[in-house]
Amino acid sequence: MSVATASPLVERDFAVPDIRCAGCISKLEQGLVRDRRIASARVNFTEKRVHIACTPDAETPDLVGAFALLGFEAHPIGDAPGEGDPEAASSRELLRAVAVAGFAMMNVMLLSVSVWSGAEGATRDLFHWLSAAIALPTVAYSGRPFFRSAWRALRHGGTNMDVPISIGVVITSALSVYETATHGQHAYFDGVVMLLFFLLCGRWLDSVMRDRARGGVTALLRNMGTGATVLRGEDSGHWVDATALQPGMVMLVAAGERLAADGVIVAGSTQIDLSLLTGESAPQAVHVDDHVHAGTLNLGAPIRVRITAAGADTAIADIARLMGEAAQGKSRYVRIADRAARFYAPAVHTLALLAFTGWMIAGAGWHHSLLIAVAVLIITCPCALGLAVPAAQIVAAGALMRVGVLIKDGSALERMAEVDRALIDKTGTLTLGRPVATDLDAVDPAHRPLLLALAQASRHPLSEALTRGLSALGVVPEAVQTIRETPGFGIEADWHGHKVTLGRPQSPAAGTALATELAIDGDPLATIRFADQLRPDARAAIDALAAEGIDATILSGDRAEAVAPVARELGITAQTGMTPQDKLAAIARHAGAGHRVLMIGDGLNDGPALAAGYASMAPGSASDAGKNAADCIFLGDRLMPVVQTVRMARRTRRIVKQNFALAIGYNIIAVPLAIFGHVTPLIAAIAMSGSSLIVVGNALRLKAAIR
């Protein structure tokens, strides 16, 4: 049923702890949109959240009811960072259940060993009753996660992977009690508690893995200051919690304090540790009018900051959201797993019924036929298939996050694995995008205070570079009056009756280099040249890409004279003077020749090319348009994260294929054995749980792929 679109849609997030597999994802995404008020629903498997777009008249209880109709318990999540973490509570509950099941399993196994050793008659019955006394309460407690999930699904006319598990556990327990009460030879309490123990181990490991994947987001948000001292006047101030900070407030940030909001410095200068946001370990000097961000650490002196963004609007919250969205994209492999899981429940129920019917027809009796049907139910659990793709992608995204790479889409890793050509923008991508004065040492020390006095009055990038360079040399600015800035020309001021200027060089000696000139009454005193430095590992990264079979080319809108030195130093070809349309045409030519292009760029003019590339990456310093269009974002000044991402993507592809092979191979071998009666419920429990653990363990090998 389609939703009316006359009114603007509102977006809401819900925590859904019971999302277990690809089948749950499919059921939620396809089932929720049948409600006329819900336009779209998207599951974040990593965080076990569902993001929905709905009409404004949809009340929260109604939306929670829509989840309940599908058999899922949902909790609304607010906008405050870090609000709501039902998965953490779920992990603790699972751990308690694992402990209980493990303790019970050890004790029941000890009793079973006595039975297997030849105990007969009353002694065997006694051991069976003791096993029942341990196993039945354990089933009631440790089996709750499966029973709750199965009951919710059945109550609303659906099914999920917990239904056959619950049926198998209940039937096996009931059969064991019957055997014990009738002095039978075999009881299966050991198999029941072992099944629960291994199933719970798999779910707990899966939950812990997701907790760790979310750990980067949580750690990032925890680095935000908890509040700030907001000034009421010149001297008085009061503490305001971070959730109550508002744009326009002026906060006092003491040395050693983390910023609680984004803002602009209005008084003071200091050094800021930006390592949280950029990965750059060297502190950065900041002055009046510089932008500073929440989560960064003030290392130097107290500063006053006018807040421009707080709470969910800060840059760090944006990054956290970006990280949270990383697992939402559906890759080709996930879609394959989705389709397979969709047919799982009907297929496994049919197989179990056919096995029971077939063995009854063959004359095996209801007891033996029922045992075989139970073994089929248990052994066909598709946990391994459901974990094959998300487990690998979650671990890979977490590992890349630790080296400063944010993956925006799960399918991005698949596309990154297939690229064979890199087209790279120059300014801000191969270079740092920050001009640096190269010959300040040649400037007469007597002229430096005057130079700083003019430079610090302008926000022009060259003036800012001069201010940084001269401040680092400990220069104190000269006192000047009547400062004026003329766009396109520069700064001028009055100094002891003379007109001093800082602007475009008039001397031809400056050539075509990026430069500015200090003059008094029109007489040039000093010419300062600037250079945009290459990223420190640019050459190593280009060589590493070539080693991976990826040839690189520069696509730049700059003049050939500016691009040629960079191309020579990196040993690659370049195309210069390119417009956004030219870059799109270049990508189309490469694609037409059968190449899969990795576009790397940062500027507003790179946005269309980033969107057109087969895969794309942008530095964290890129424009908003560039970051929105790119598949991945790398932080810091190094270019090597691009190579690390490609290598990780290729490794992830291999792991996913291995996981599929493991999951499919397990079913090919195990299901026929169960149908033909060669597997007991105990063996089925071990085999099914082992396959999930193997898939998760195989995915965890990706953690060591990046050092």
Q: What are the catalytic residues?
A: 425
Q: Are strands 615-619 and 632-634 parallel, antiparallel or unpaired?
A: parallel
Give backbone dihedrals phi and psi of 571, rounded to 5 degrees, phi first.
70, 35
User: Is 303 within 8 Å of 265 (Cβ atoms)?
Assistant: yes
The gap between the terminal CA atoms of the chain, to the nearest Å, is: 49
Amino acid at 454: L
Nearby residues of 573 by Cβ (< 8 Å), 6 or more positions away: 553, 554, 567
Collect all residues with Cβ–Cβ distance below 8 Å to 445 and sequence separation of at least 6. none
- What backbone phi and psi angles, to 5 degrees, belong to 316? -65, -35
| Nearest by Cα to 441 from 524, 503, 526 | 526
Give the separation between CA 185 and CA 177, rounded to whole angstroms.
12
CA distance 99 to 93: 10
Q: In what order do the strands lie in the sheet with 250-253?
A: 237-241, 227-231, 250-253, 303-310, 261-267, 291-292
A 10 A CB-CB count for 481 gives 8
| Spatial CB neighbours of 701, under 8 Å, sequence gap ≥ 6 | 655
> Helices (H) and strands (E) in the chain — how many of each?
23, 26
Residue with tokens 């603790």: 92
Rounded-to-integer distance, Cα 273 and Cα 277, Å: 9
The number of angstroms, rounded, from the C-alpha of 622 to the middle of its chain's C-alpha atoms is 19
User: Amino acid letter at 200?
Assistant: L
List helix spans (H) across 15-58: 22-32
Q: What distance lies between CA 58 and its chain's CA centroid?
A: 30
Contact, 450 vs 500, CB < 8 A?
Answer: yes
